[in-house]
Amino acid sequence: MRNKAVNEEPQIPDRFVVEADKRVVGVAIRVPGGFKFFASDTAFQEAEARVFPRAKAMARRIADIARRRRGEPDGVQPPAALQ
């Protein structure tokens, strides 16, 4: 096992589980150009096979879909007291 340099950035794995609302909704696989999402929940089918340039961009899109499912507008989070 090699030692990590102190300033080395953590690496994102080649594949990982994607969660929303504390449950698994799909998986992401590293592909040329970013990460491809594969939905395991039909509610997230609109993002199926889409390639996102960064994992963070995918997380935002999945969060937007989850908010819409809860009846909240995209990109808007409820006040902490309502969560």
Percent of the chain clearing pLDDT 70 (strictly above): 75
Return the domain boundaries, the chain. Answer: 15-70
pLDDT in tens, 42-68: 999 999 999 999 999 999 999 999 999
Tell me the C-alpha to C-alpha distance, in Å, between residue 55 and each of 6, 13, 33: 23, 10, 11
Is the pTM here over 0.85, yes or no? no
Mean pLDDT estimate for the chain: 85
Confidence (pLDDT) at 13: 83
Cβ atoms of residues 36 and 28 within 8 Å: yes
Residue type (1 letter), 66: A
